[in-house]
Structure 1
Amino acid sequence: MSVCAPPTCTEWQQWSTSMAIAVTDPDRLARARAEVDAELQAVERAASRFRQDSEISALASSAGRPTEVSDVLAVLLEAALAAARLTDGDVDPTIGAALIALGYDRDLADLDYADPRAASMTIPATWSMVEWDGRFVTVPPGVLLDLGATAKAVAADRCAARVHSATGCGVLVSLGGDIATAGPAPLDGWQVLVHDHDDDPAQQVGLPAGGALATSSTVHRRWGRGDAVVHHILDPRTRRPATAVWRTVSVAADSCFAANTISTAAIVRGWRALEWIATLRVPARLIDSDRRVHTIGAWPEAQPGDPR
């Protein structure tokens, strides 16, 4: 997913993915980037399991004991547990040990495709085992939290709100395809390209002011393990990569957190996702393993000459 012809835009690479900011006032772009950088640094210090000095890493050494967390980690934990409740556990933050066992033990850019990591057995765990009172969290011994399924989307929402508050202008923030907006939109909306893969056709869609969009994928964030290729979206019940019924799932919603929660759960649910998303009354575009396009709700139809 990429920003399409924004009023004023800057792009860069971070967290092993492409990031972008677009603003309606060109004079506010530098301030917008500074605000986003500050927010991303705060999120990384709180929730990166690839940093030994992060709060989430420190929780592993205090497992079994109530631990007070920062305001930032409190927001991220609350979101992760809310996503688990909303999806009946299809999005579960207790999969950290399972991801490590699959070899995802450092930033994706640093993974050696041909160098599988030794797997270790992980204890059965679910999100309901995490005790959380809004300030103190207790993680069972042996359980490692991974907030990756929700933290980037929450960060996108927080970045957009923070930039709008600081600058007063309209803003779109894209963190690896997790897109959030705040403030006034351009006259024709925020134009973004939604695509399954870099070499596939893309569809241009417009987001209104305050709109959000998220895409979850089984064709990105992949690495080698032995003779197999695995991806990062796990089925919490099997602790293995979800069956790749869907190549990508894109969802539009009022917040990036909501959109990403639905798109991630859809990957886990496979074909059942079509009926489930329809009950939620949100627009969605799903690309199956045969590259067939499935649209739900008010997702815009491709225009003549516009690739789906």
Structure 2
Amino acid sequence: MTAACTWQIWGLDASLTVTDPRRLSDARVIVEKILDDVDRACSRFRPDAELYGKSIRRGRPTRISPALRTLVDAALDAARASDGAVDPTVGQALVSLGYDRDLAAVLADPAQADRGDGMPRIRIRPADHTLIRRHGDTLAVPEGITLDLGATAKAVAADLAADVIADEIGCGVMVSLGGDIAARGETPTGGWQVTVDDGPGEPRTQIALQGDCAVATSSTLHRRWRHRGTSMHHIIDPATGLPAEVRWRTVTVVARRCVDANTVSTACIVKGDAGADWVAATGLPARLIAADRSVIGCNGWPAPDQLAA
């Protein structure tokens, strides 16, 4: 028997499922505490976020909290693992493209959507994560570089929440944060049933997760806005400072850790035509939806006649 609850966080759907219904409320307290810690550490949309304090913004080596260390290290690991395709130094590019507030506020600003020719007025230098210095409990970010940990922070939060619940409560758990899903502990009979669906009219499938594992989906279909008359999406190509070309509509990857799955799915979108071969080389099961809605499965992703019941 399982119990579940759902809510909204950061403009996304969140859900929590546990194998011990008596502990659902306790598990939710843990998830919400971790999400609050992540938000306080690195949200671009709150003025008191630790990552955007004066000392860091001025380029000074700054002592940071364990929570922020975990998040920054995960972002830098993702940059290295993806050969720079997932790079946390794209923050200024996102700002220049109009994503300078919570997305709901951006979407509510018709003036930003309609004026201009679609190109940012500020020339953005290519992102380069190697400029960031992390040593011991300190972080140094060169002045003028804005970090954005959005590409990895949500997946890290899902992993952390699932880890803590499984360790402290002792039941099986699945945490889902806007498509980033982590499962730990006891697995329900038949596995954790996960529907992979990116909206009406999009290819839909269902898989069963077993044991400690995770799944992440990256998409160019959501978190979109208009800026200077041009449609934008949030997955930035670090080499150009612009939204990645839409060779892939969505990419879903299964891995041991959600942050690893998310790194691969996001990097695939950024890498474009080269993404399919790169994902195949990782050995991780994946499903890629191309711009023409054709479906590519690799590394053991189940065929339609093998889907979970």
TM-score (norm 1): 0.93
- In structure 1, give the amino acid aligned to 2:183: T
CA–CA distance in structure 1, aligned partners of residues 30 and 105 of structure 2 = 27
CA shift digits 1:161-215 (9 cap, x unpaired) = 1111221100000000000011111021100100232443421100111110000
Q: For 2:147 and 2:111, locate their aligned partners in 1 and report how far apart those are by CA, in whole Å.
A: 24
Distance 1:194 1:60, change over 3 A: farther
Q: Give the distance between the partners of 1:274 and 1:267, measured in 2 at CA.
A: 9
Give the number of the structure whose residues are more often helix, by fraction: 2
Superposed, which structure 2 residues align to 1:104-119 within 5 Å? 104-112=99-107, 114-116=110-112, 119=121
Match of 1:3 in 2: none
Residues 196-207 of structure 1 correspond to what in structure 2 (within 5 A)?
196-207=198-209
State the 1:59 CA deviation: 5.5
In structure 2, which of residues 190, 209, 220 is the aligned counterpart of residue 188 of structure 1?
190
Work out whether residues 59 and 67 of structure 1, in 8 Å CA contact, stay in contact via their aligned partners in 2.
Answer: no
Q: Which amino acid aligns with 1:106?
A: R
| Bigger mean CA offset, 101-110 vs 29-38 | 101-110
2 CA distance for matches of 1:170 and 1:277? 29
Tell me the amino acid that sits aligned with residue 159 of structure 2: D
Q: Could you tell me how far 1:124 is from its partner in structure 2?
A: 4.4
2:268 to 266, 269, 278: 266
Aligned to 1:7: 2
Report the secondary structure of 1:271's partner residue: helix
Q: How does 1:150-189 map onto structure 2 within 5 Å?
A: 150-189=152-191
| Aligned CA distance change for structure 1 residues 125 and 293 (closer, same or farther; 3 Å) | closer
Residue 58 of structure 1 pairs with residue 60 of structure 2: no
Superposed displacement of residue 111, structure 1: 1.5
- Kindly indicate whether the alpha-carbon contact (under 8 Å) linking 2:126 and 2:238 is maintained by their aligned counterparts in 1: no
Contact 2:56 2:62 in 1 (8 A): no
Name the aligned partner's letter for residue 196 of structure 1: D
The DSSP-based 3-state class of the residue aligned with 2:189 is: coil
Cα distance in 2, alignment partners of residues 162 and 119 from structure 1: 44
**Contact kept? 2:203, 2:293, Cα under 8 Å:** no
Task: Tell me which residue corresponds to 2:25.
Answer: 30
In 2, Cα distance between equivalents of 1:67 and 1:60: 6
1:213-253 CA distance string (max 9 Å, x none): 00000001100112211000000000000000000000000
In 1: Cα distance, 2:216 partner to 2:89 partner: 22
Give ranges in structure 1 of 5+ residues lacking alignment: 1-5
Q: Where does residue 252 of structure 2 map in the other structure?
A: 250
Structure 2 counterparts to residues 53-132 of structure 1, below 5 A? 53-58=48-53, 62-112=57-107, 114-116=110-112, 119-132=121-134
- Normalized against structure 2, the TM-score is what? 0.93
Q: How does 1:206-245 map to 2 (within 5 A)?
A: 206-245=208-247
- Which letter maps to 2:111? D
Contact 1:196 1:287 in 2 (8 A): no
TM-fit CA distance, 1:119: 4.3
Q: Does the C-alpha gap of structure 1 residues 235 and 124 become closer, same or farther in structure 2, counting only changes over 3 Å? A: closer
Deviations 1:91-139 (A, max 9, x none): 1000101000001111112213633287433344410011111311111
Local SS of the residue matching 2:25:
helix
CA distance in 2, matches of 1:115, 1:196: 29
Displacement of 1:63 in angstroms is 2.7
Q: How far apart, in 1, do the equivalents of 2:23 and 2:213 lie?
A: 21
CA positional deviation for 1:143: 0.3
Question: What SS does the corresponding residue of 2:53 show, helix, strand or coil?
Answer: helix
Report if aligned partners of 2:71, 2:156 keep a CA contact under 8 Å in 1.
yes
**Count of residues in correspondence between the two structures:** 301
The residue type equivalent to 2:2 in the other structure is P
Between the aligned partners of 1:208 and 1:160, the Cα distance in structure 2 is 14
The answer on whether the counterparts of 2:133 and 2:140 sit within 8 Å (CA) in structure 1 is yes
Residue 282 of structure 1 and its aligned partner are, at CA, apart by 0.6
Separation (CA, whole Å) in 2 of partners of 1:169 and 1:109? 36
2:294 to 287, 292, 298: 292
Q: Give the root-mean-square deviation of aligned CA atoms.
A: 1.7
What amino acid does structure 1 have at the position aligned with 2:210?
P
8 Å contact from structure 1 (residues 103, 119) kept in 2: no
